[in-house]
Amino acid sequence: MIETRITKMFGIKYPILCGGMFWVGRAELIAAVANAGGLGFLTAATYPTIEELQDDIHKAKDLTDKPIGLNINLFAAVRPQPIERWVEVAIEEKIPVVETSGSSPKAIVAPLHAAGVKIMHKVPGVRYAQSAERLGVDAVCVVGHEAGGHPGMDEVTTIVMVPATVDAVKIPVVAGGGLGDGRGLVAALALGADAVLMGTRFMATQECRGQAAFKEWMVNAAETETVYCMKSIMNPSRLAKNSVAEKVVALEKRGATLEEMLPLISRQGPAVVDSGNMEDGLVSMGQAVGLVHDVPTCKELIDRMVEEAEAAQQRLGAIFA
């Protein structure tokens, strides 16, 4: 057991969270994280209909009696998102923790809190953490430049972002971006965080959706095999380095417009994950892919992280003795 403000607030054994992951973060993964003592977030935007979201929540509840979370992405998407319905579903399904991201959670703080739901808002910068705190969220997750998905415009790494955020807010801070093992967990706690949140590392687990060939690519990839791009179109993203991502980078370098990039950037996630062919499109991935050397179950991963954290702590104890 590792006790922090986050483990107490969310009612979990270990301060290890699996962030919302479009398309891949489904019931099997989120329930496995919960059963292993962490907390994972199903991703509302994954499901084409509310019924499919509800079905996956029910499936996760059948697979675990531990808390499960829901990610509500507030990013202004091309097509309007049913955010109010997602909030209603979180409340109806008695989801204890909602992870918000993408934009200000202002409109949904009051209804979620009225129903007793805790809110962790995920941000890519210190100033956004401060505004979220002013809105009354219960915790913030701050992600650094290493992170898979949307690491923000600031290009500030996790090692600076976390302590800067800890100094700037009073609510618990969760560290995200580039974390993949127990050493990272101890480092994040040392920086003042109350938990870690990982996406990339959890993608290379047995319970995560995805072809074996896709996970094998992750096992073989080095920490250099991601690209950070699309800042020019205000959609900064960290993606696996494949031929499609490299084309996006090249287009961006020559000043291409959103319209010119659209045919490439609309090929996101599902194709690669489900076919296992890395050249099928873009897929979010963080630099922590360089820390992925196997495809364990979530329980094996989390147990190992706790052992590694204890070893790191002993090493520190010897250094500071």
Ligand X SMILES: Cc1cc2nc3c(=O)[nH]c(=O)nc-3n(C[C@H](O)[C@H](O)[C@H](O)COP(=O)(O)O)c2cc1C
Q: What is the contact surface with ligand X in residues (CB under 6 A)?
A: 19-22, 24, 43, 45, 71, 73, 101, 122, 143, 146-149, 176-179, 197-201, 203, 284-286, 288
The CB-of-255 to ligand X minimum distance in angstroms stands at 27
The CB-of-269 to ligand X minimum distance in angstroms stands at 6
Residue closer to ligand X, measured from CB, 256 or 270: 270
Residue closer to ligand X, measured from CB, 276 or 314: 276
Angle at 209 between CA 205 and CA 211, to 5 degrees: 90
Place of tokens 């599902």: 270
The CB-of-202 to ligand X minimum distance in angstroms stands at 8
The CB-of-124 to ligand X minimum distance in angstroms stands at 9
The CB-of-110 to ligand X minimum distance in angstroms stands at 21
Residue closer to ligand X, measured from CB, 2 or 208: 208
Rounded CA-CA distance 295/303 in Å is: 14
The CB-of-203 to ligand X minimum distance in angstroms stands at 6
Residue closer to ligand X, measured from CB, 231 or 256: 231
Residue closer to ligand X, measured from CB, 256 or 277: 277
C-alpha distance across the termini of the chain, in Å: 24
Which among 193, 156, 209 has a CA at the least distance from the CA of 309? 193
Residue closer to ligand X, measured from CB, 87 or 198: 198
The CB-of-158 to ligand X minimum distance in angstroms stands at 8
The CB-of-183 to ligand X minimum distance in angstroms stands at 14
Report residue 289 as tokens.
Answer: 């892919």
Residue closer to ligand X, measured from CB, 101 or 165: 101
Residue closer to ligand X, measured from CB, 161 or 203: 203
Q: How many residues does the chain have?
A: 321
Using Cβ positions, the residue closest to ligand X within the complex turns out to be 199
